[in-house]
Amino acid sequence: DAKTTQPPSMDCAEGRAANLPCNHSTISGNEYVYWYRQIHSQGPQYIIHGLKNNETNEMASLIITEDRKSSTLILPHATLRDTAVYYCIVRDRGAGNNRKLIWGLGTSLAVNP
Amino acid sequence: DGGITQSPKYLFRKEGQNVTLSCEQNLNHDAMYWYRQDPGQGLRLIYYSQIVNDFQKGDIAEGYSVSREKKESFPLTVTSAQKNPTAFYLCATGHPWDTEAFFGQGTRLTVV
């Protein structure tokens, strides 16, 4: 079973920030939080990942709470092309692990004009 | 172009026939993965390989087989033993102990 919980769907106006929440209350100290997105009928695309510090790259920002039990992916200026299903995944980076990604149902984000 | 190539994008087969899905990568990644996705569902791991000539079953390996004779290639065979083969199949690559996974564009298999 997936170790994360996400709302099934969200809407966002074009040009506004999209804030996608994720709960991972059972996350362990060795697990990172990864975010991917999947545009309809395409392969998932990596967005960002983090352990406990906030992270930012050219696509998005990741805010992880101090207790690491939840996180928020922020798309600062959403465009119509950001319409996709967003998956939040926790993943162990320890050596010897098969590094499976356990996928939940994600959040379907609709960016509206 | 660097990346992962899955071919074909759409594939139709008759029930009872084996079919092989291709996955080729030129990213020099050691690990390769096969996932299956059903409508409205997340991805489920079929098989993965962390190094040439070695592979392991994932969560739903029954009815599937793979080979890893070359670093660049990880073909998936959907056998007639797979009871519900119609699905979207995704291949991914990565390094076993580091970084994220990179995905191909998928093959949509329809068995009629």
The pLDDT value recorded for residue B2 is: 62
Chain A closest CA to B81's CA: distance in Å? 25
- pLDDT tens-place string over residues B73-84: 999 999 998 989
Q: Is the pLDDT of residue B34 over 90?
A: yes
Residue B59: partners with Cβ closer than 8 Å, 6 or more residues away:
A100, B44, B45, B46
User: Is the CB of B88 less than 8 angstroms away from the CB of A41?
Assistant: yes
Kindly list the residues from chain A whose CB atom is less than 8 angstroms away from the CB atom of residue B97. Answer: 93, 95, 99
CA A98 to chain centre: 21
pLDDT band per the 50, 70, 90 thresholds, residue B41: confident
The pLDDT value recorded for residue A41 is: 85
Q: Which of B31, B100, B104 sits opposite A43 (nearest CB)?
A: B104
Nearest by Cα to B56 from B37, B79, B34: B34
User: Is the CB of B98 less than 8 angstroms away from the CB of A43?
Assistant: no
Asked whether the beta carbons of B65 and B79 are under 8 A apart, the reply is: yes
The pLDDT value recorded for residue A38 is: 95
Asked whether the beta carbons of B30 and B49 are under 8 A apart, the reply is: no
